[in-house]
Structure 1
Amino acid sequence: MFITNAKPEWQKGSLSDLITVKYGKDHKKLADGHYPVLGSGGIMRYVDRPLYNKESVLIPRMGTPGNVLYVNEPFWSGDIMFYTEMKRNNIAKFVFHFVRSKDLVSLNNGSAVPSMTTQIMNGMELSIPDDQQLNTFETLVAPMYKTIQENTKQSKNLAIMHDTILPKLMSEELDGTNIKSKAAKLSFK
């Protein structure tokens, strides 16, 4: 919508016009808790306090530059990730899609280990949609992001139930002989 179909009247700028790039921090000395520590591969562990609690886009600093993440809950960013602070409203999802559209591997600064720098991130040129267009985009995609978040949460809950019930069925601690008929009755309610 915006990345490949930018309107000529949109302001030309750089990513630094929209975001402030921040360095993630080491999490090893933090106590366990319920805030996710995010790395380029996803959740690494959970800690007792967040590093940041607003909408953000996380970009790998080293290793796998293509694993860009969008986050809309309190989190801790690992020290091999950048996280971003938005300078305007309704731009995080736009920034996420813009950064994901870039070939970050070709922009990297490392030789043996791919590396991204704040200078590379800040200098990315783009056409910046006006506030009305960004609000339209946000209105369009926000329900999709909410559905994804709810589906992810439900999937985690189902995995927990699976991991709890299956061992009990296997050890015959639970009687599973009538599960199919009970499940069929539940699905029609």
Structure 2
Amino acid sequence: MGSEWTTSTVGEFCPFKYGKGLPQRARVAGLFPVMSSAGVVASHTEPLVKSPGIVIGRKGTAGSVTFAPGPFWPIDTAFYVEDDPTNRDIRFTYYLLKTLALSEMNSDSAVPGLNRENAHAVAVCIPSLAMQAEIASFLGALDDRISLLRETNATLEAIAHALFKSWFVDFDPVRAKMEGRAPEGMDEATATLFPDSFEESELGLVPKGWGVTSLDAVASFLNGLALQKFPPTGIDDLPVIKIAQLRKGDTVGSDLASRTIKPEYVVKNGDVLFSWSGSLEVEIWCGGEGALNQHLFKVTSSDYPKWFYYLWTRQHLDNFRQIAASKATTMGHIQRRHLSDAKVVVASDTVLKAVDEILSPFIERIVVNLVQAQTLATLRDTLLPRLISGQLRLPHDN
């Protein structure tokens, strides 16, 4: 490992301090994040910690590790480590703590809790400050690139949804033509394809010549399997995609299932997944190949492009969540009849074809970015423990 590395403990290198309570009634929305064991929960006009730092879950999401890039207020469900640039690189310290499996050190079975003394006693190997900075810079560059890809996708999603809503829900181009105006954000050739009047339908007024159908008529909603019936064989097994995996976007630490399931239940990058029970979410999956678990729909269509059924499903998501929340059960859900009750306005073939040339590239770029972000995250997670432990050294230019 070399003389640049020394043996220490968490308590010696980066002692945990207790956060301070800040009740909701005392919070005033401001520039500084209020952070709990679950991450950012609010904001406030002043920070408790006036430098970058690290928040470690003490109660609740015990052992979680979150980086605070600027001043922040850690509340009393969390510990924190503040910046001390003469003794440690704060971002290196963050990556170091990420490798220690603090979440597995719970001391309270009723309410998960991290014991500070136990955490402080963990032995760690620490490189020189210069090497800490190098490691943090390398890993930080990967994280920054991942963040940029995700921010880009958030922008792409917002633009795609805004265009979709304007054209297929609010019918802005049709209304503009009725008023003798040129539709905004659309070239003349595409605008010509939109009708200039409405007609009655079961939904009320819709653009003339357009149809109304059910959400489950434009796409197939394949419910997942009870995958405990397909135990892993130890040979080329598939990670199980449950609601938890859908929410975090990967299958790290997931259960495994046998690949003997039917091919249609195998999820691949770019598939649209819809969790219809518990936490209702609609996402484009890019966390790698996996097996579709029950309580998840894989949404596909042989008749309509992906953007069409993906954005229509998202359009109805708030209503589906309200339906699920009204269920007098511990796990709210929707039923297949709610897919039939959810109505979709279908434009003419010429309009769909023209809009497909605009919106399909958005979805394709989102998928490419998600896959790239996942690849970088896998690389980071593979290199992280090796760099932090000194097993792998960064090359230096001669």
Aligned CA distance change for structure 1 residues 159 and 180 (closer, same or farther; 3 Å): closer
Q: Which has the larger radius of gyration?
A: 2
CA distance in 2, matches of 1:46, 1:166: 33
Superposed CA offset, 1:42-94 (max 9, x none): 33223333333432221100122242112213333232111211334562232
What are the equivalent positions in structure 2 for 1:1-189 lying under 5 Å apart?
7=1, 9=3, 10-25=5-20, 26-28=22-24, 29-88=26-85, 91-158=89-156, 167-172=165-170, 174-175=172-173
Tell me the TM-score normalized by structure 2: 0.39
Does the 8 Å contact 1:18/1:88 carry over to 2? no
- The 10-residue stretch of structure 1 (139-148 or 120-129) with the greater mean CA deviation from structure 2: 139-148
**Does the 8 Å contact 1:20/1:86 carry over to 2?**
no
Do the aligned partners of 2:38 and 2:57 also contact (CA within 8 Å) in 1? no
* 2:64/2:103 contact within 8 Å kept: no
Separation in 2 of the partners of 1:78 and 1:166?
41
In structure 1, distance between residues paired with 2:30 and 2:158: 18
Q: Secondary structure at the match of 2:141?
A: helix
Greater mean deviation of Cα atoms: 108-117 or 175-184: 175-184
Taking only the aligned residue pairs, the percentage that are identical comes to: 20
Length, aligned pairs only: 181
**Counterpart of 2:98 in structure 1: which amino acid?**
R
- Are the counterparts in 2 of residues 12 and 127 from structure 1 also a CA contact under 8 Å? yes
| AA partner of residue 133 (structure 1) | M
Alpha-carbon distance in structure 2 between the residues aligned to 1:183 and 1:106: 44
Cα contact 1:68–1:99 (8 A) shared by 2: yes
TM-score (norm 1): 0.73
Are the equivalent residues in 2 in contact too, given 1:60–1:66 (CA < 8 A)? yes
RMSD of aligned Cα (Å): 3.3
Q: How far off its partner does 1:105 sit?
A: 3.6
Asked which structure has the greater RCO (Cα within 8 Å, sep 6+), the reply is 1
C-alpha distance in 2 between matches for 1:158 and 1:49: 33
Distance 2:91 2:358 in 1: 43
For structure 1, the 5+ residue unaligned runs are: 1-6
Q: How far apart are residue 117 of structure 1 and its match? A: 3.1
